[in-house]
Amino acid sequence: MGWGLGNIPTNKREEPVMTMEAGKLHWIAMAGVHGCIPKYLDCYETHDDAVEGLRQLHDLGPMQRRELKRFSFLLLNGNAYCSIDSCSCITPELHSDTESNRELLFNSINGPRTKEGSL
């Protein structure tokens, strides 16, 4: 998954229901190719949950999982990577890839879409 730019794979689980408190520490799991907007982006309440989400997404083995858990970064193959960052912003729901969040990101960069400018 990503921010709605390019060909985006779907997540194999249901969309998360954000129940986190605003301003509470949360974890952002990302995966993609270096130098590009992440193809996958999701928000988790714990670091372990973020590791598990990326493990399932990339079918990581035990050694890769341990490395991701220890360093919060894993080089997959070539330029592909997955990483986990902490955040304590007041809008953790914006870190999850959903259609409404892609629309918010698009509008914040380009302004609201018009009928003629719809993608």
62-71 and 47-58 are packed helices; what angle lies between their axes, rounded to 10 degrees? 140
Give the SS3 label for residue 35. Answer: coil
Q: Per-block average pLDDT, block size 10, for the chain (119 residues)? A: 36 44 80 87 91 93 96 91 89 66 59 57
pLDDT at 84 (0 to 100)? 94
Look up residue 22 and give its DSSP letter.
Answer: T
Indicate the pTM of the whole model: 0.63
Report how far residue 75's alpha carbon sits from residue 77's, in angstroms, rounded to the nearest whole number: 6
